[in-house]
Amino acid sequence: LWGAEHSVAVLPRSETHYHVSLEILNHFHFSNLNLKLICLRLLFLFDYNLNDRLLLVNLETVSHLIFLTGCYSEDFGISCVRRNVARFIEERDGGIACDRENIYITNGATNGLQLILRLFEYGKGPSQTGVLVPVPSYTRFRLMVLEAGGVNVPYYLNEGHSWALDMTEMKRALKCAREHCSPKILYLINPGNPTGQVMSRKTMEGVIKFAAEEKLFLVADEVYQDQVFGDNCSFLSFKKVLFEMGSEYRDNVELVSLNSVSKAYLGECGFRCGYLETINIDPEAITQLRILITSSSFPSISGQIVLDILMKPPQPGEPSYEIFNKEKTFIMNTLARNSKLAVQTINALPGLRCNPIQASMFCYTRLELPSKALEQCKALDLYPGLFYCMQLLEETGIVLDPGTGFGENDGRDHIRYMNRPECFCCLEFQIYPKIVEALEAAEKFSKSLLAQRTPVTN
């Protein structure tokens, strides 16, 4: 119970405490507390939006915080939040400089991607702008390309090689695309959704050299950067690799990197906040970007507060560090354990197979249905992946995504499991036994549906 002096009671429903940087709170000056507003906004901020988590602020700052969430922001984001983002990036990249002027706070990564796509002119026929997009990848981006007037140019990730990006395939995709459009943008997701793979430095260097040779604009979607848990693997940003490659690349390759509060250990996707960093971008394009941002709407203050929390988490020695670290470690360990369990369970079933997962929260699974079930799919005019998901939903209440939602139309069938406890299915799985229960139900269902088949081959 906090704030007795102000007659405001806040009852946390979980133990987590987050520390809000005081700079944000001092950014605006307000007076005259209004208790009704305080109550309403505390409820709004603490009870609903922070998803059971609690901001640890002292009473002095609570009043500022409350009023702060209801005001306008600077167009490119609150300047101290942009500065904290820049510091986070510098620390992440081992000291490579980051200027806050190159940081733009966005309404989530989706909005950042839309802004970048809108910097290009699209045209028609052979001059129509093409965007190289990984397959599998999540649907929304491909829709954004269409909405912008561009052409999606798929490059297929290599399932047989743990979903690695394959430069031979990338070159093939570009060559084919040049027969009907003009590819200018290369979109990369690292760590991957839905594949959960983490790119190696060697792969990233290959991509950067390719972009330099082919004059492609790189868009690095790095929203899962804080969600890496695979053995012996860690996240490297495209910026870091680029800056360690020599000046012909470091000073020339155009790169935009995106991050978001929607993922990582926070997972606060409802706040709609993220940022983009521009590197080597043409000054005219920057002017255009600034016009686009200024003419649209800035992210909410509460979203920017959450972003600030992600960028500047409690440090050792600070009051909330211990409890914050405990919760973060718990979340990361849970993800790692759930993904191992899911991979193990799935790979023991006939007709299903998935690669080990290094990051993010999905388990992208290859599906081969037995002939009887395939006949049913045909009769119902359903893709096998969709058929499997619908049957599973009806029989167990578990929701999975069919692979068709990830751009696959080459005859392979997949389904996507989610490993994050609360996302695994419709139910809220906060605790380990629940995910075990869900996997057991999925296992039982899969066994009965897939029993008569032989193991999947590549």
Ligand X SMILES: Cc1ncc(COP(=O)(O)O)c(C=O)c1O
* Closer to ligand X by Cβ: residue 108 or 183: 108
Dihedral angle over CA of 350, 351, 357, 361, nearest 10: -110
Q: How far, in Å, CA of 173 to CA of 177, rounded?
A: 6
- Please report how close the Cβ of residue 135 comes to ligand X at its closest, in angstroms: 13
Instruction: Give Cα 285 distance to the centre of its chain.
Output: 25
- Please report how close the Cβ of residue 286 comes to ligand X at its closest, in angstroms: 22
* Closer to ligand X by Cβ: residue 272 or 453: 272
Q: How far, in Å, CA of 207 to CA of 217, rounded?
A: 11
- Please report how close the Cβ of residue 223 comes to ligand X at its closest, in angstroms: 5
- Please report how close the Cβ of residue 266 comes to ligand X at its closest, in angstroms: 11
138 part of the interface to ligand X, by CB under 6 A? yes
Among positions 222-241, residues that touch ligand X (CB under 6 A) are 223
262 part of the interface to ligand X, by CB under 6 A? yes
408 part of the interface to ligand X, by CB under 6 A? no
Q: Which of 159, 166, 221, 408 binds ligand X (CB under 6 A)?
A: 221
Residues 6+ away with beta carbon under 8 Å from 455? 350, 351, 353
- Please report how close the Cβ of residue 419 comes to ligand X at its closest, in angstroms: 14
- Please report how close the Cβ of residue 263 comes to ligand X at its closest, in angstroms: 7
303 part of the interface to ligand X, by CB under 6 A? no
* Closer to ligand X by Cβ: residue 260 or 304: 260
* Closer to ligand X by Cβ: residue 267 or 350: 267
269 part of the interface to ligand X, by CB under 6 A? yes
- Please report how close the Cβ of residue 281 comes to ligand X at its closest, in angstroms: 20
What's phi and psi for 194, nearest 5 deg?
A: -95, 10
The number of residues making up the chain comes to 458
Among positions 144-203, residues that touch ligand X (CB under 6 A) are 189, 193
Q: How many residues bind ligand X (CB under 6 A)?
A: 12
Among positions 341-380, residues that touch ligand X (CB under 6 A) are none
220 part of the interface to ligand X, by CB under 6 A? no
274 part of the interface to ligand X, by CB under 6 A? yes
Structure tokens at 354: 């998935």
String marking each residue 96-125 x if it binds ligand X according to CB under 6 A = ------------xxx---------------
* Closer to ligand X by Cβ: residue 50 or 223: 223
Give me the residues that bind ligand X (CB under 6 A), please. 108-110, 138, 189, 193, 221, 223, 260, 262, 269, 274
